[in-house]
């Protein structure tokens, strides 16, 4: 809703789907209370890597120069290199989530139940964001590599 | 977004309302970005008016600078968001929703800042190929000037281009001065804005 009003203020056409630009951060912020510092740092670092890759890849999309292509390849490799760490971190976080149905009998007006449900929902959201991103990056890396090959060939001819 | 930007302090206004909650280095990162962006805007405007060697080289330099700081800025915004407590956590407080309102406002300001930044980068990326083309033309022209092995026709074209750019180069000297002055003035106004202007919708309302 807040995003809606910003778009109206700026007199811009509305995007088809209102996207939450802090989706990842919002999920991570909620989970911060339940995870330890190391896991939090890993997830934060992942976001930094992802943002660096996103910047490089957007540059590459606008202009397929050698510099931008090389840069986005390096960033993609960094991101893909951290996949194992991030997956095992996610697995550890998942294992620590208590089952929501176990909190059913409690006499706290369903508060604990609601928190556990929310925790599971946001964890799933985070997990989806990360796995979808990896699928996307793999697809984009193919494009980056083929562009890089093309540039190399052009250089050889010259 | 059009090429010319009307400075309405959207970025500064939102940054100002966040100031009390930020760390010193976060403030300097965000302030620096604003200065870099204004430098880019100045250079872009003079580049649009006349594509001389001087203005092309200047826009290239500032372009590299602003694209270089992108991920740093995004990381800073991410950290600021993570440090802002969620407003859902304060629902139980008995203060008539005051704390919740403040947190909501903080999140809204940060969202506006991020949208503004994303908008700017979209605009800058839209101009990447134009700048690259101008730069390629420039390199070609100077290359033709350096080695005399080119065909007469090519050299003729290059000569014309160089001489025309030399003619226009008289203006950018003035332009550059004007440009610098304008950009420092805007930076100054930006700084003044935080200090002196009382925002009716800012934190004073709480």
Q: Interhelix angle for A83-96 vs A37-62, to 10°?
A: 140
How far apart (Å, rounded) are the C-alpha atoms in residues B94 and B83? 23
Hey, are the CB atoms on B82 and A32 less than 8 Å from each other? Answer: yes
Write down the mean pLDDT value for chain B.
74
Write down the mean pLDDT value for chain A.
85
At residue B195's C-alpha, the angle toward residues B15 and A21, to 5°, is 5
CB A119 within 8 A of CB A30: yes
- Interface ipTM: 0.81
- Pick from B67, B74, B111: which is nearest to A3 by CB? B111
Hey, are the CB atoms on B67 and A47 less than 8 Å from each other? Answer: no
pLDDT digits (tens, 9 = 90+) for B3-35: 455 557 889 999 999 999 999 999 999 999 999
pLDDT digits (tens, 9 = 90+) for B101-144: 888 889 999 999 999 999 999 999 998 889 998 988 888 888 76
Residue B75: closest C-alpha in chain A: A48
How far apart (Å, rounded) are the C-alpha atoms in residues A68 and B125? 12
- Distances in Å between the Cα of A125 and the Cα atoms of A25, A90, B178 are 11, 12, 51
pLDDT digits (tens, 9 = 90+) for A121-134: 999 999 999 999 99
Segment 9-38 of chain A within 8 Å of chain B by CB: 21-22, 25-26, 28-30, 32
State whether the Cα torsion A140-A141-A146-A151 is positive or negative. Answer: positive
Chain B contact for A124, CB < 8 A? no
Tell me the count of A-B CB pairs closer than 8 A: 62
Chain A contact for B139, CB < 8 A? no
pLDDT digits (tens, 9 = 90+) for A67-83: 899 999 999 999 999 99
Residue A50: closest C-alpha in chain B: B71
How far apart (Å, rounded) are the C-alpha atoms in residues A85 and A83? 6
């Amino acid at each position: 809703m807040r995003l809606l009003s910003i778009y109206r203020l700026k007199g811009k056409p509305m995007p088809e789907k209102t996207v939450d630009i802090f989706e990842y951060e919002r999920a991570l912020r909620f989970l911060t209370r339940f995870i330890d510092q190391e896991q939090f740092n890993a997830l934060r670092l992942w976001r930094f890597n992802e943002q660096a890759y996103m910047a490089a890849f957007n540059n590459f999309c606008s202009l397929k120069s050698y510099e931008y292509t090389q840069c986005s390849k390096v960033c993609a490799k960094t991101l893909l290199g951290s996949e194992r760490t991030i997956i095992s971190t996610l697995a550890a976080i998942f294992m620590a989530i208590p089952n929501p149905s176990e909190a059913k009998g409690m006499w706290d007006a369903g508060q604990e139940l609601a928190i556990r449900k929310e925790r599971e929902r946001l964890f799933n959201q985070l997990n989806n964001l990360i796995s979808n991103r990896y699928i996307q990056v793999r697809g984009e890396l193919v494009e980056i590599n083929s562009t890089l090959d093309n540039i190399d060939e052009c250089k050889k001819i010259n | 977004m059009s090429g010319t930007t009307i400075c309405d302090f959207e970025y500064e206004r939102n940054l100002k309302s966040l100031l009390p909650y930020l760390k010193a280095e976060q403030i300097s990162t965000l302030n620096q970005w604003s200065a870099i962006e204004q430098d880019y805007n100045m250079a872009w405007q003079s580049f649009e008016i006349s594509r001389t060697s001087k203005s092309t080289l200047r826009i290239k330099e500032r372009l590299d600078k602003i694209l270089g700081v992108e991920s740093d800025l995004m990381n800073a915004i991410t950290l600021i968001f993570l440090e802002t407590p969620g407003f859902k956590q304060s629902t139980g407080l008995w203060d008539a929703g005051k704390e919740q309102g403040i947190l909501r406002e903080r999140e809204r300001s940060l969202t506006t800042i991020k949208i503004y930044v994303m908008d700017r980068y979209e605009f800058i990326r839209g101009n990447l190929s134009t700048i690259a083309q101008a730069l390629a033309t420039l390199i070609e022209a100077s290359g033709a000037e350096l080695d005399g092995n080119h065909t007469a026709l090519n050299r003729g074209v290059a000569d014309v281009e160089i001489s025309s750019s030399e003619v226009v180069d008289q203006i950018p000297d003035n332009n550059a001065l004007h440009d610098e002055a304008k950009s420092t003035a805007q930076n100054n106004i930006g700084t003044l804005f935080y200090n002196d202007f009382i925002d009716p919708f800012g934190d004073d309302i709480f």
